[in-house]
Each structure stands twice: as C-alpha cells, then as structure tokens.
C-alpha cells in the first residue's frame, strides 16, 4: 500500500492595509506585520522580507498559509509589494508612523485635515504649500522633503531590483552600497555587483544582465566572467592560473568563443585588474589583490629579517639551563638547537607534527625572552587556535583579526603600514592556516624593529584561502627553520599521535593489540552503505556508551566531501534526525531545518558579530516572534536574523577542510572510494590530528591505502617561494 504524502502548501495572494508592524529589521528587511485583509475578521499575521513598511500602507502578498505551533496561523510571504495608502485614514496612519521625518501624529492629523487624500501629492509635487500650516517652517519643510525623497528613492530602487530577479535581502545590500545611484550603476554594469557586494555572485549579476538585455557574447560579460573564474580558482587555493587554462575554462563557462575571452583577458590586463607573470615557464595570470599580496609577503619578510634583534644577545645554553631549573623541563639536544636558532634569528619557523614538542619549545623561548623585557604579541588565525595558544602559554593570545583591530565598518584593519603594532616579537601559531592575503596584512603591521616567529604543522592541509604560505616560506630556504621530528615519551603513548606520524610517512595506520580501550581505531567496511550504517551506530550509541562522550558536544564527524551519501550534508540530516529530532521550535531557512540543541558551523567570516568561518556552536534558542535564532559559541551567544541563516549550517558532520585549527574530544572519519578525488595524505593526516582523545576511521581498506599513498604535495600555483629566494622587492 503506497504511503500517504502530504500535499505541498498552495500558493495564494492576499492584500490589505497594515495595522501594526510587530517587528522590522533594518539590516535584513525581515518583517512581522498585522494586516487587515478583506473577508478575515481577525488581523492576519504576515511574515516575510520587504522594504520598510509603515502602518496605513497597503500590501499585496504572495505566499502560503502556515499554522505555527507557537504563534498560530501565519501567512508566510515570499513577496510583499507595498502600495502607498489612498484613503485619508490610511494616509494619516502612514504619516503618523514616523516613516517621514518631521511629521509625527500631530502634523499627520493636521495635514490630512488641511489637504485630505491629496496630501501625499502635495508633499511630492508642491511641498511649499506645507508652509501654510502653523508650526511648519523652512527647517521642518527641508527635513520633510529630504526624508520623502529618500523613502521614494529606496522604494524605486527596491522595485527595480526585485523586478530584475534580486531578492529583498540582496536588494537591501545593494541599496546600502550604492544608495541613490543604485539603479544607474546596476543598469550601466550589473557585473560590478559580483565585485562590490558580499553575497552577490557572478551568476546573480549575469541573470540581471540578461534581463537588462546585455548580450551573452558582450565584452563586459566576458571580462566579468574571467574575473569570476579566477576567483573560483582562488577558492581552490591558487594565487595564479595558467593563461591558457583560464581562457579555456572561462569560455566553456560563459558558452562563448575563445577569441572573446582572449580579448577580455587583454582588456583586464591593460586595466591592471589582472597581472601576468611567468611561473615555471608558463604565462600565468593573477587577480591584482593576490599579486600584490604575494609580493607584499616576500618583501615584508625580507624587511623584517634586516636589522638587529630586538633583544640583547643571550647565551642559549645558560638561558635554557635557567628555564629547565625553574620549570623542571628537560630539553632534548634537538630542542636546544631549535631554541638557539630562534634566539639568534629575527624571522624564524618552527614546524612539526603532534607530540614533537612545538608547544614546549615556544614556552621556553617566551620564558627566556620575557626575562629580557621584550614586548610579545601572540596570535593565531582562528578563535579556537588563539584560545589554545593562550592556555598553553599562560599569556594573552588574540586572533590575527583582533590583533590588527579589524573595523567592520571600514572593512579593513586599523593596524597596518601607517599604524604599526607596538611590539618586539610577534608569534603566530597554526601558520599553515594563514592565507597570503592575511599574512600580507599582518606583515604590514609589524614594525621593522620586531622579530617574527611562525609556528605550525606544514604537513597539514594548507589554508582555506589562497596561497601555501608556510610551505612556500620553508621551501624557499631563506627563513631559518626548525623541523621537529622526535616524538616525546608521553606523546608516544598515544596511538593517535603514532598513527598520525605513520600516515605522514606514507605508512598504513594500525590498531592496537588486545581488547583494552585505546584512542585510535580503524574499522574496515566493504561498501559506502556499510560505512554509513556503522558511522551512525558509532556516533549515536557505541562511542557514548563505551567512552562516555556526548554524541553532540564531544563527537565530531569529519568527512572528505560535502556531497554524496557520506558527505557532510547528507550525514547532517541523518545525525540531526537521530540526535535532535524532537526539539522545538523548528525553523526552516535556505533548505535547512534548525532547532535548539543543533550543532552548527559558521560558514563565512562575519566581522560585525566577530564570528569566523569554521567556528562551531550550539543553537540555544529560536524566537519566531522576533525572527531570530541564537547560537552559543564558546560561552558567547550570537543572534542571527532568520534572513542571515545562510551564514550557518548543521555541523554534526563537517568537511575536513572546515576542521582546520580545531580540536575535538572524539573524531569519526568515513573513508570510501567514492571520495577518490579527495583522498590525499595531508587530508587524512589533518583529520586524524583533530582528535584529542579518540579517533575512529570507518572505511574501505582500499580508500585508506589510497589516501596514505597519495602525496601530491603543494599543488597550489603560487610564486612566493621563488620571490623569497630571489629577494624580490615590491614595485
């Protein structure tokens, strides 16, 4: 007998006058309105996004009826069209709402009494007549006319953008960027949206351009497409792209002739938006900001290497002996050599895998330097990494963004070339995560007198952003580098650390002998379906029962891919159903259902909220009245408008790339041959080193062997290593 299916809600149209605005967000346009609809005895609750709405206005709404468990029957509007009021009572209510500055309840009543339903026409076309009203002088008239003009401009712009396929939330961002010039600028070149507006990509701009009648084979479209393709390739980590590859892939994406794209590249190069440089005998193209950043990193490192050390010369043996006596530590010969190298170098690198003593080394160096009256700044690319650095050193550590004092309004750092940091030594932890743009910004802010110590594991995945900064610096041979390889006794007791190093050496990880509990397991599986079944059982039942870990807070599934049955998207739906199915209230936005107790991950940097890509938290509350969802990140509660929920995703399972810089009590890793294109040694190594107390790999033995054996080191196309080796100066 076939299962019954619930019919899809029927789309309807309703219209009526707005009696009350229960909630309105200036930022997103999300509104909760009480509307008097003909044929309905009670006011109708309408929720949706729209331009600013005032009581008295008339709205036409298209959407569906929804019976909310908390708020009852609501009309969820996909489109809200605002129509200015036409009746005298409606106009009075509209003007009294404060929408037009300079007119409150008193003047609204007075104006309607004087001009009747013609009052909006008077304000629009003959505003000087308002001077006949007692109390309205030249100053108040200027306020009224200016406010009216602003409101009209906003409405016109919003109608224009929405008529060309732009949703309300994006239309607000466009208006905020271009203000009254929005229609002119978008009409002249809609492709500028993909460069100027966060969250508006090439495809959106291309849709608008098509509606505006811009030809598919126009040069303006090809130029935008070339920049878009370069930006897409930068998301794969490349700083530059071979010219022939860029032209071929852009032509295929745009479905135009190669000649048009070749001309577009020429035009963009002449305008200096793209820059050409030979790398390994091939002509390659950069987006201008990446070209400048890569050159800036090279020149910045050379600048810092020059000049005297910011501390007096020390005797390493004597200083190390003093620290050992004070702390009870006993450094190995290799660690002592490393300390000596850092103490005599203005710029240096410490790299190595887990358990090799990077933290101990940094603490010894900081202990010696602090006795020399040297001002130290500690930083890391993420909040979690900065917190761990602070805990391990006992000193304050900041994110790089916080150290450089990022200003979300200016969308830039306050610290930089003209406003250097007041410091003598900058220590950067988890440097493998720092991309070329951020490293350039950091170097610009470090004064000539200061030293720089870069710490990180070069064998982990490179940064999410473009570049392979740490790898390139080490490969150049220019910067003094300490590579730690000796695993110390306490760390050697951990199967996680032993197996991580085995993977890094191209060896298959092994399970411990016997039945005693250990911290590393490989569970062989035959098929993706078998992996899927075992993974769900492991996360929801076996690990919590056997080890006492909480299935949501403590266990993190790390998968190579986002798509597919073992991808993060599919696994998140399954794990949410298994672990948080009954939680209420629920809200569905952007294809994802959220409810209190859900584990979520921030997908983009949000500088206003100071939450960054990769931060993981728990949903603590959902307020459907106010249209907000709150997430707790490391004891900080951050509130999102419902329209902002495209910034977060479920995080019961995340991609391994998203886990960089994080640590979890327990990690479960599915590995299948369907992940073939991503099965690489540094991917698996990064995943395994995220686990603090337990790592479980559930996979096909062939997939494990493929990942361990696949060592495609540093495939990113960059030129930083050569620049450093050649001591390149910035232009």
Task: Enumerate the known binding-site residues.
Answer: 355-359
- Please report, in range form, the residues annotated as the binding site for ATP: 355-359
Burial class (CB in 10 A: 0-12, 13-18, 19+), 635: exposed
Task: Classify strands 412-413 and 406-407 as parallel, antiparallel or unpaired.
Answer: antiparallel
Closest CA to 392 of 414, 361, 369: 361
Determine what percent of the chain falls in helix, strand and coil, rounding each to the nearest 5.
45, 20, 35
Fill in the DSSP letter of residue 307: S
Tokens linked to 269: 């190069």
Distance, in Å, from the CA atom of 608 to the CA atom of 123, rounded to the nearest integer, reads: 38
| Per-residue CA distances from 93 to 11, 18, 55 (Å) | 30, 9, 6
Residue 233, H or E segment: helix 219-234
CA–CA separation, 300 and 383 (whole Å): 25
Rounded to an integer, what distance in angstroms lies between the CA atom of residue 613 and that of residue 631?
A: 14
Q: Report the distance separating Cα 181 and Cα 331, nearest Å.
A: 65
In angstroms, rounded to a whole number, what is the distance separating the alpha carbons of residues 280 and 241?
12
- Residue 4 CB partners (closer than 8 Å, separation 6+): none
419 - beta bridge partners? 416
Rg of the Cα atoms in the chain: 30
Cis omega (within 30 of 0) for bond into 585: yes
Assign residue 610 a region: left if phi > 0, alpha if psi is -120 to 50, beta otherwise? Answer: left
Give the integer Cα–Cα distance in Å for 348 and 461: 21
Which among 308, 370, 372, 313 is positioned nearest to 343, based on CA atoms?
A: 313
DSSP string, 350-384: EEE-TTSSHHHHHHHHHHHHHTTT--EEEEESSHH
């Amino acid at each position: 007998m076939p299962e019954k299916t619930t019919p899809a809600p029927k789309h309807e149209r309703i219209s009526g006058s707005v009696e009350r605005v229960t909630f309105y967000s200036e930022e997103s346009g999300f509104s909760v309105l009480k509307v008097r609809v003909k044929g309905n005895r009670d006011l109708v609750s309408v929720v949706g996004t729209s331009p600013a709405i005032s009581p008295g206005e008339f709205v036409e709404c298209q959407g569906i009826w929804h019976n909310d468990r908390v708020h009852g029957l609501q009309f969820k509007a996909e489109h809200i069209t605002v129509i200015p009021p036409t009746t005298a009572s409606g106009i009075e209510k509209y003007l009294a709402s404060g929408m037009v500055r300079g007119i409150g309840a008193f003047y609204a009543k007075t104006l309607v009494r004087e001009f009747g339903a013609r009052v909006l026409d008077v304000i629009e076309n003959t505003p000087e007549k308002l001077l006949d009203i007692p109390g309205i002088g030249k100053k108040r008239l200027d306020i009224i006319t200016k406010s009216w003009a602003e409101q009209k401009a906003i409405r016109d712009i919003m109608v224009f953008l929405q008529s060309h396929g732009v949703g309300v939330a994006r239309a607000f961002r466009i208006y905020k960027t271009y203000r009254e010039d929005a229609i002119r600028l978008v009409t002249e070149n809609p492709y500028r949206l993909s460069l100027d507006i966060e969250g508006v990509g090439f495809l959106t701009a291309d849709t608008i351009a098509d509606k505006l009648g811009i030809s598919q084979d126009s040069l303006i479209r090809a130029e935008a497409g070339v920049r878009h393709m370069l930006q897409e390739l930068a998301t794969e980590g490349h700083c530059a792209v071979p010219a022939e590859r860029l032209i071929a892939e852009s032509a295929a994406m745009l479905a135009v002739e190669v000649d048009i794209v070749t001309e577009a590249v020429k035009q963009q190069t002449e305008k200096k938006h793209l820059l050409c440089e030979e790398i390994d005998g091939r002509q390659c193209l950069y987006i201008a900001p990446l070209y400048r950043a890569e050159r800036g990193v090279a020149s910045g490192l050379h600048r810092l290497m020059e000049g005297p050390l910011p501390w007096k010369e020390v005797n390493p043996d004597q200083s190390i002996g003093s620290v050992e006596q004070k702390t009870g530590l006993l450094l190995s010969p290799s660690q002592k050599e490393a300390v000596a190298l850092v103490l005599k170098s203005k710029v240096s690198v410490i790299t190595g895998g887990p358990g090799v003593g990077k933290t101990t080394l940094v603490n010894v160096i900081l202990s010696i330097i602090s006795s020399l009256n040297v001002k130290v700044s500690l930083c890391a690319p993420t909040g979690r990494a900065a917190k761990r650095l602070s805990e391990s050193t006992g000193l304050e550590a900041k994110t790089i963004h916080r150290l450089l004092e990022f200003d979300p309004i200016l969308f830039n750092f306050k610290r930089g070339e003209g406003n250097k940091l007041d410091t003598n030594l900058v220590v950067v932890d988890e440097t493998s995560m720092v991309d070329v743009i951020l490293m350039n910004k950091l170097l610009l802010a470090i004064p000539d007198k200061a030293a720089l110590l870069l710490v990180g594991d070069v064998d982990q995945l490179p940064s999410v952003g473009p570049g392979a900064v740490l790898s390139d610096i080490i490969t150049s041979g220019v910067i003094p580098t300490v590579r730690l390889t000796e695993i110390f006794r306490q760390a050697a007791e951990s199967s996680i650390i032993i197996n991580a190093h085995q993977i890094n050496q191209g060896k298959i990880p092994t399970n411990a002998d016997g039945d005693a509990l250990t911290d590393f397991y490989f569970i062989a599986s035959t098929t993706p379906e078998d992996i899927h079944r075992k993974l769900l059982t492991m996360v929801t039942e076996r690990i919590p029962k056997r080890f006492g870990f909480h299935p949501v807070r403590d266990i993190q599934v790390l998968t190579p891919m986002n798509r597919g049955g073992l991808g993060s998207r599919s696994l998140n739906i399954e794990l949410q159903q298994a672990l948080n199915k009954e939680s209420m209230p629920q809200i569905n936005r952007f294809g994802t259902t959220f409810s209190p107790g859900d584990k979520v991950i921030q997908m983009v940097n949000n500088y206003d909220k100071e939450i960054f890509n990769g931060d993981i938290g728990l949903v603590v509350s959902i307020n459907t009245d106010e249209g907000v969802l709150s997430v707790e990140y490391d004891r900080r509660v951050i509130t999102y408008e419902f329209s902002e929920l495209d910034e977060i995703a479920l995080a019961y399972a995340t991609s391994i790339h998203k886990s960089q810089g994080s640590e979890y009590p327990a990690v479960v890793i599915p590995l299948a041959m369907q992940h073939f294109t991503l099965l690489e040694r540094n991917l698996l190594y990064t995943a395994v080193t995220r686990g603090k107390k337990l790592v479980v790999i559930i996979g096909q033995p062939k997939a494990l062997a493929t990942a361990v054996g696949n060592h495609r080191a540093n495939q990113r196309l960059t030129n930083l290593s050569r620049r450093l080796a050649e001591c390149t100066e910035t232009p």
